[in-house]
Structure 1
């Protein structure tokens, strides 16, 4: 982020770091296929920063409507990651890239 001219303590990098951590954790925990890794891509345009995390479990998709992730039961110790992504991202979604790969992406407006 600093190489892109964005100080780490400013709002966009903070959001991108939180989103990347959540999506990468989800890929490592839920998108894992033995012998295959996940991929993280970051990009920056004049209007937004974009995080893409691809994994090899297209059968495990996030909720169909990113506008309304459902919170877990109050006593659950997991299940809040996409709520955080939704809170930090300007927009986010999921795309099936191939039969074997899905990409969850999120964008943060600059």
Structure 2
């Protein structure tokens, strides 16, 4: 087994994909923080625009650092941003449906 100093992207492909991002530790910390923040958004009672900005910032840092890398590495660092987008869309859809249900209940009385 060979060891190398170059970190690799853990994607299930036939060959290892080396990571060429200039600061892999910062990218990893921001990426994990963005994933944890996405979980926090789903658990929070109220979501404000500040919460969305913080999550977007944490998700964009690894993407900006990986701007001159291969496509698969960009895909890897873009996963937290995609999850944040899906979380935000689902939260707003849930809020809209709750608002519609409340307005229907008010019409009842």
TM-score normalised by length of structure 1: 0.31
**Structure richer in helix, relative to its length:** 2
Structure label with greater radius of gyration: 2
